[in-house]
Structure 1
Amino acid sequence: MKNLRKPFPVLEQYTYLNTAASGLLSEEVFDFRQEHDLDFLVSGSILKEKQGKILAGVREGVGKFFNCAPNRVALVPNFSYGFNTLLEGLDRSKKVLLLENDYPSINWAVSSRNFQVCTAVIDGQLESNIKNAFQQYKPDVFAFSIVQYISGIKLSFEFLSELKRENPDVLFIADGTQYLGTEKFDFDASGLDVVTASTYKWLNGGYGNAFILFNETAAEKIAPKSSGFNSLQGKYKAHEGNFIGKFEPGHQDTLNFGSLKIALDLLQRVGMDVVESRVANLADLAKEEFIKLKLLEERVIKREKHSPIFNITGDDKLYNKLRGKDIICSQRGEGIRVSFHYFNNEEELECLLKALK
């Protein structure tokens, strides 16, 4: 694809640096959604007769994109629903390691149950803090975001793989919502037990759809309690007691899950090599410039590799100034969060820097 910005009309109006809050709707996904609902309008239940085939195609598409067998892919409406369903399938005597101030839908969901909870601090030495917590607390479960939603601090996959090899019996559950779609990701090669994500951010899949990827042994440690008629309906769920079916007890929306499939198809046409290169380049340029302007926390400056999410120093006045210049960003934590995806460019970074200076 020559023009990476063309599928996203919002970019014609705004300097959109807010994918970490909400990804953009592409023309391809918009066209699919219109055609889908037009089919529903004129054919009613005839469209729904194709539901099994549509959802199987989505499951297979997700599995192919992230290298996970489709019979280990659960389709859920959002991250929080899937994660809470998963937690209900864990023994309450388990000790769970969390990261302090991680995404609330992780930490609140765990702390609201009667698990033993221990924590590691998020700072410039995050990996060392986690390793020390493993040695001190000996957790049964490690639940975490791959990329932090406020600071953009990103965990090293080399570290995670090594930590998993050293602790094979610990269940590693990762939230990939702020990560998947920014670079190539091979789930089966990652060593993680579970990765789950909503897709409305970096995958540009729209709202109302998410997925969970399980490795081959995860079902031995998780016993979800949910069940319903849809738990046994469709390809990959046709037998009693099916594991992924426990995460899919009710009706699933072919409009929303179909949107995810179209969004993944677009990313494949762009090429994840291209996406990864552009995102990494913009993140490196942005970090360098933000350091010059003294806008970043010391814990972020110290990190060798960083995600495309940055929380820069700024108050209400600066935020309103940026919005007044049609620069779309978010107020998070004590600063202003900006984020760069593959459809952004150096000119937009310069536009932001000019406003900041």
Structure 2
Amino acid sequence: MKQVQKDFPVAQNYTYVNTAASGLLSEDMLDYRQEQDLDFLIGGSIYREKQVSFFNNVRKSVANFFDGKATNVSLVPNFSWGMNALIEGLKPTEKVLLLDVDYPSINWSVESRGLKVVTLPITANLEEVILEKVKEEKPTVFAFSIVQFINGVKIDLAFIKKLKAEFPELLLIADGTQYFGTEPFSFKDSGIDVIGASAYKWMLGGYGCGFFMFTDAVMSRFDVKTTGMASADGNMEATDISLVRKLDPGHLDMFNFGSMQFGLEYLTDLNLTDISDYLTGLSVKAYKGFKELGLLDDAVENRPNQLSTIFSLKLEEKYLGVLREQSIIASYRANRLRVSFHIYNTEKDVNKLLLALRKILNN
């Protein structure tokens, strides 16, 4: 894959290993956004006249990127908003399986609505535990992140496909915020019923944009109440609004969703297979170094065949500042120092990080 670090000013000035907190803005994206602002500046409402065709085009871009159907794509300002609206539409008799420290917008949206909930811990043998719990508790819904935001544990997508085949009535809802943009993903072939994501991390779309996508078969499982003029594209006579469009109840920001589309096109031009190979190389190198230093939890250390681009390191929060003094930007989550990699990182970044960590541990 071609080197793209030069496209991202932050990556040129820092060792930025913090995509799990925020993806970066490229100079090309800045140019695009300035053009959009200029069009609005000189056009006013004329700029908005193309919104229906514009957003339909964005839906097509999302569908093409994830191998789904454009008519089954909802555009949402963020995953959290969409997830809450969606869970509100579940029948009160549903029983939901959750991972115990999954992203709050997944777990809280379920727990706050009084649905029956079953939780399980994230362990090295996660897939075995999930299968056992599904057989034992017979949940009707399983909601999960493909990659865990705290420690980077990545669920085996081949397992998810088999799980769906064995339990076809089990509704699978997946958050791809910490995963989409790191490798090719076919929604059509995944076995997952609903996917959603915010676009500001590995998708490089900036803030205020995200999406949900559905299979045809799951539409009847939800009775979503949200709706508005935008759900009907301004048609005040509309009486039959689909689930997909009920998640588009109000005006959408062409600036933000155009940025999401731009990010997807940027990644597509780089080739997702090449991106995957490149990021796998960085993750394997980092994993070996972190393991050697004894910084990984068992749930990650014992899953070398399911590495993501996120790692949780057993270090105190004070070391976040030590790294910052060396221009290394990371995060701190759940009593762990979290680092994460994307296309603007290099082996040099990994080497610099490992050297800094060795110095910390040797002091």
Letter in 1 for 2:309: P
Q: 2: distance between equivalents of 1:347 and 1:188?
A: 37
Partner of 2:331: 330
Partner of 1:197: 197
Alignment of 1:70-219 (within 5 A): 70-219=70-219
Contact 2:206 2:260 in 1 (8 A): yes
TM-score, normalised on structure 1?
0.97
Letter in 1 for 2:179: Y
Q: 1: distance between equivalents of 2:306 and 2:288?
A: 12
Contact 1:197 1:211 in 2 (8 A): yes
Count the aligned residue pairs.
355
1:234 Cα deviation after fit? 7.7
Partner of 2:313: 312
Q: 1: distance between equivalents of 2:121 and 2:336?
A: 19
Runs of 4+ in structure 1 over 3 Å off: none
Partner of 2:361: none
Q: What are the Cα deviations for residues 40-66 of structure 1, in whole angstroms up to 9, with x where unaligned?
A: 111100000011121111110000111
Letter in 2 for 1:288: K
Q: 1:234 to 1:52 in 2, by over 3 A?
A: farther
**Structure 1 portions without partners, runs of 5+:** none
SS in 2 for 1:307: coil
SS in 1 for 2:251: coil
Q: 2: distance between equivalents of 1:251 and 1:209?
A: 12
Q: 1: distance between equivalents of 2:109 and 2:283?
A: 31
SS in 2 for 1:187: coil
Q: 1: distance between equivalents of 2:318 and 2:6?
A: 32
1:312 Cα deviation after fit? 0.8
Partner of 1:350: 351
1:181 Cα deviation after fit? 0.6
Question: What's the RMSD between the two structures over aligned residues?
Answer: 1.3
1:31 Cα deviation after fit? 1.1
> Is it true that 1:249 corresponds to 2:264 in the alignment?
no
Q: 2: distance between equivalents of 1:13 and 1:241?
A: 48
Letter in 1 for 2:45: S
Structure 1 stretch displaced more, 178-187 or 5-14: 5-14
Partner of 1:45: 45
Q: 1:131 to 1:5 in 2, by over 3 A?
A: same
Letter in 2 for 1:335: R
Alignment of 1:198-277 (within 5 A): 198-233=198-233, 240-277=240-277
Identity %: 46
SS in 2 for 1:296: coil
1:243 Cα deviation after fit? 2.3
1:27 Cα deviation after fit? 1.6
Q: What are the Cα deviations for residues 201-242 of structure 1, in whole angstroms up to 9, with x where unaligned?
A: 01010000000010111102112111111111189xx87222
**Structure 2 portions without partners, runs of 5+:** 359-363
Contact 1:4 1:270 in 2 (8 A): no
Contact 2:317 2:335 in 1 (8 A): no
Letter in 1 for 2:30: F
Letter in 1 for 2:326: K
